[in-house]
Amino acid sequence: MKNTEMLKKNYEFKYIFLKGKYISGKYIEIYIKKNKYSKNLLGIAVSKKIAKSVKRNRIKRLIRENYRLLENNLEVGYSIIILWKKNITIENATFKNIEKDMKNIFKKANILLEEGKI
């Protein structure tokens, strides 16, 4: 994740939740806000109500890896928070489901560059 730094502080998350644009997919939800940096800031959150820590961390790893593969096709200068939907079961957390959902959401947000523009 060369063009991305992780969001870690609670106030960073709260600010993006408050001011960011909300886009929902089938499995994940994303909050996006333009920032003043020349890199993207990424935050990932999975509720404790979904599963125990091992399964939550697996979902986070899958989301992080999908983001890493899409990173070169995204515009820079955005703060992004990715949330796993609370009503979706853990069995739906597959690499392909997350990949498809993430691409659709980034297209809706108009930050996914087309393959030829890279």
Buried b (16+ CB within 10 A) or exposed e, 78-113: bbbbbbbbeeeeeeebeeebbbebbeebbeebebbe
- Which domains, and CATH codes, for the chain? 23-110 (3.30.230.10)
pLDDT tens digits, 60-112? 999 999 999 999 999 999 999 999 998 988 888 899 999 999 999 999 999 98
pLDDT at 21 over 60: yes
pLDDT at 113 over 90: no
The pLDDT score that the predictor gives to residue 116 is: 45
Q: Which two tokens stand for residue 47?
A: 């509720």
Q: Is the pTM here over 0.85, yes or no?
A: yes
Exposed / middle / buried, residue 40 (Cβ in 10 Å: 0-12, 13-18, 19+): buried
Interatomic CA distance for residues 7 and 103, integer angstroms: 21
H helix or E strand, kind and range, residue 83: strand 78-84
